[in-house]
Amino acid sequence: MSRADIPGGTPAVAGARRLVYGLSRSGLGVLGYLKRHGMMAHFYDNNLTAEDAREAQVLGFQPDPSPRAGAYDQVIAAPGVPINHPQLEALRQGGAEIIGEAELVYRHSNTPLIGITGTAGKTSCTLFTAHFLQALGFKAVVGGNIDPPLASVADDAEVVATELSSFQLERIVHFHPRVAVLLLLGIDHLDRHGTVEAYHAAKLNLIKNLTSSDALVYNAKDSKIVAGIARSPAKPYPFEPADNPRETNLRAAEQAALAYAELMGQTPSRQALHKAWDSAPRPPGRFEVFAQIGQVVFIDDSIATRIDSVRMALEAARAPVAWILGGVDKGAPVEELLEVVGRKVRVILTVGKDGPRMADAFRGSTEVIDLPEAQGRKALEHGVQEALRRLDKGSVLLAPLATSFDQFKDYKERSQVFREVVRQAQKEAGVK
């Protein structure tokens, strides 16, 4: 099926009644995309900010304060809106097709996409994939779950390395990338998907429309991935994970760039790919030893909000570890970390809304210090102080296993504040 054959695909269906449901980053990107493609729409957000409303209206779109069933043919829902949202279900029952940003872009743009997903590592792998593609001479950009939105970059790019979350992949219909990358199927977002099986099914939507003309890059050591791709007709490009998460993501990204080049009929330069390893970017907030006071090192892994990411961080950190845990719980089964916590962790420092409750599984076997009265910067300041009181060597690890939205704008701000707090502690300790 060509994209022109897809219902609602290129060219745009004249007179289609569209609603963009949920604004913020993704929804505003979709409105900009619709304007560039000459498609009309209304917008709705039950937490609409004045800034978002103003930006949407500057683009020429008007709000619908109360969307009614039967009023729309198509609804483009933001990733943060649950798949079973009652209002979306009512719109669906009224005849509207519910899709997401990735599906919309796929239908109306011919730009090749490399789709990247996994329980951990997808942001790094997305950045690395664009980096390797650029090393091979492609005008590659990043988009999707990573800034900027896919809808904002797809029209002007030669190829887009696209980070895709399970929330985005839930609403896949016809979408398929030229190269699909599956990094890891672990446990995450149980608060959204309900079961591990439903979460994995959403992730595997990435490959459901692949053809024999596409490529599939996958983790050859993940049995769940190997089982999930068994019937895929795409050309396989397996990779072996490394002990170091960064190296694993670099291996996957190199394979993705190699696969895309070969699909484009090129013979990629192995020398260029090898050279690109040394200049690969270092995304903020990912496992990095960035400071030291005496024999205690400080590790920033603010983006580690998943069980698999946190387990790898705890294993990689120098023992004994002071582990900063907490934020908004995503439903992770923290009990799975009991063994590694018992081996590596001296003290758990809980911060944020759900930190104390998340640490309940470890009380009695590991020292836990709750900092419920402190929020944001103060919580991290207290955590660093308590860690230094208990450690004369080892690591202070920020790997929170929870989202940051109760205390910070996002994981990047949490990372930045943690680093600022540690730098101040260094000054107070006389470290230059």
Domain harbouring 243, CATH code: 3.40.1190.10
Residue pair 70/94 in contact (Cβ under 8 Å)? The answer is: yes
Residue 15 lies in a domain: yes
pLDDT band at 6 (very low <50, low <70, confident <90, very high): low
Alpha-carbon radius of gyration of the chain: 23
Q: Could you tell me if 181 and 310 lie in one domain? A: no
Last residue of a domain, one of 278, 299, 316: 278
Question: What is the model's pLDDT at position 8?
Answer: 53
The domain that holds 70 is classified in CATH as: 3.40.50.720
Average pLDDT, stretch 213-237? 96
- Model confidence at 5: pLDDT above 60: no
Distance CA 275, CA 355 (A): 42
Q: How confident is the model at residue 418 (pLDDT cuts 50, 70, 90)?
A: very high
What pLDDT does residue 10 have?
A: 45
- Mean pLDDT lowest for which of 2-6, 315-319, 361-365? 2-6
- Decide if 365 is inside a domain: yes
Euclidean distance between CA atoms 394 and 292, whole angstroms: 10
Q: Average of pLDDT values for 273-286? A: 87
Choose the final residue of a domain: 79, 103, 127: 103
Tens digits of residue pLDDT in 244-256? 788 899 999 999 9
Same domain for 255 and 192? yes
The answer to the question of residue 283 being in a domain is no
Mean predicted confidence (pLDDT) in 206-222: 97
Model confidence at 427: pLDDT above 80: yes
Judge if 99 and 116 occupy the same domain. no
Residue bearing the bigger pLDDT, 100 or 309: 100
Among 172-176, 253-257, 280-284, the minimum mean pLDDT is found in 280-284
Mapped onto helix, strand or coil, the DSSP state of residue 302 is coil
Whether 75 and 97 have beta carbons less than 8 Å apart is answered as: yes
Q: Please report, rounded to a whole number, the percentage of residues in the chain having pLDDT higher than 70.
A: 95
DSSP 432: -
**Average pLDDT rounded to a whole number, residues 178-207:** 86
Helix (H) or strand (E) holding 228: helix 223-228
Is residue 377 in a domain?
A: yes
Predicted confidence at residue 190, as pLDDT, reads 65
Average pLDDT over residues 121-141: 95
Residues 141 and 58 in one domain: no
Tell me the per-residue pLDDT of 336-363, one tens digit each, with 9 for 90 and over: 999 999 999 999 999 988 999 999 999 9
Residues 293 and 274 grouped into a single domain: no
Could you give the CA distance from residue 315 to residue 37 in angstroms, rounded to a whole number?
A: 49
Residue 58 has pLDDT above 70, yes or no: yes
CA 262 to chain centre: 27
Tell whether 194 and 217 lie within a shared domain: yes
Residue 205 lies in a domain: yes
| Any domain includes 370 | yes
Task: Say yes or no: 271 and 333 in one domain.
Answer: no
Per-residue pLDDT for 409 more than 50?
Answer: yes
Claim to verify: residue 94 and residue 141 sit in the same structural domain:
no
Q: Say which residue, 1 or 323, is predicted with more confidence.
A: 323
SS3 for 105? helix
Q: Is the pLDDT of residue 373 over 80?
A: no
Q: Which of residues 54, 81, 103 is at a domain's end?
A: 103
C-alpha neighbours within 13 Å on the C-beta side of residue 130: 22
Q: Identify each DSSP E strand in 18-124 by its residue range.
A: 18-21, 42-44, 62-63, 74-77, 97-99, 113-117
Residue at 272 is within a domain: yes
3-state secondary structure of 393: strand
How large is the average pLDDT for residues 129-138? 97
Residues 405, 345 share a domain: yes
Question: Which one has a higher pLDDT value, 353 or 16?
Answer: 353
Nearest to 202 by CA among 332, 114, 84: 84
The answer to whether position 54 is within a domain reads yes
Please report the beta strands in 177-287, taking only residues with DSSP state E, as ranges in sequence order: 179-182, 215-219, 235-239
| pLDDT band (50, 70, 90) for residue 375 | confident
* CATH code assigned at 417: 3.90.190.20
State the pLDDT confidence band at 4, using cuts at 50, 70 and 90. low
* pLDDT confidence of residue 307: 87
Can you state the angle between helices 245-263 and 270-278, rounded to 10 degrees? 150
Q: Range of 20's domain?
A: 3-103
**What global pTM score does this model have?**
0.77
Specify the pLDDT at position 38: 94
What is the tally of structural domains in the chain?
3
Q: If you average pLDDT over residues 118-133, what whole number do you get?
A: 93
Distances in whole angstroms, Cα of residue 425 to Cα of each of 145, 171, 399: 34, 46, 19
Residue 321 pLDDT greater than 90, yes or no: yes
- Cα three-residue angle 254-259-264, rounded to 5 degrees: 130
| Residues 25 and 92 occupy one common structural domain | yes
Residue found by looking up tokens 């660093």 in the block: 384
For the four alpha carbons of 230, 232, 236 and 242, in that order, the dihedral sign comes to negative
Mean predicted confidence (pLDDT) in 370-393 = 90
Do 116 and 231 reside in the same domain of the chain? yes
pLDDT value of residue 24: 85
Residues 142 and 84 in one domain: no
Specify the higher pLDDT residue, 283 or 154.
Answer: 154
| The pLDDT value given to residue 96 | 96
